[in-house]
Structure 1
Amino acid sequence: MELYDVEEFWKFDMRVGLVKKAEKLKRTRKLIRLDVDFGSEERTIITGIADQYNPEDLEGKKFIFVLNLKPKKFSGVESQGMLLVAETEDGKVYLIPVPEEVPVGTKVW
């Protein structure tokens, strides 16, 4: 395992976001488009977990997202961040829910 200085960690802007809408991207097997509210802004984020979760599993729930990544296009849709999940060595993905009382937009560290 490679070790990093804690200063590298602080470069990431991780925030609590509320998934307002989630839908599977057409002609894809794993991609879900999320419309996420961060309080001061809304962003579109693409996540590759549709083989294990339905869009309905995400809507109306809060999760942690990384916001300061370079935008990337998936199936013609630009993703403006990344959903954080837990994944086992065999590829099982687990959503990491955020308690309801945590405000949208809260910084995570």
Structure 2
Amino acid sequence: MSIEWGMEYSDTRGNELLDMIASLDLVIVNWGNTSTFRRADACESIIGLTFATQRVARVTSDWSVSEDYKASSHPYISYSINNLWEKPPIIPERRIRKIT
């Protein structure tokens, strides 16, 4: 878990994952703090993450967790990737800091 992707606190596994993401020069595309895992006992968490390069992240839009599909504790995640060959809009970089 990590506050970097919308959780209330960070733990060791979350920090290790952030280190890996930073070492690969990737970013997390998740927006907001919508749960990506839900159990019938009301346990919810954000464990479904979407990674992308900076270039792809700049042209990614409409990231969302589906509320329609109920047959799994892991709802569908959808997003759009716009034309990579057009000049992307200028969006501030969402770099992941390396935890030491």
TM-score (norm 2): 0.30
Larger fraction in strand:
1
Larger fraction in helix:
2
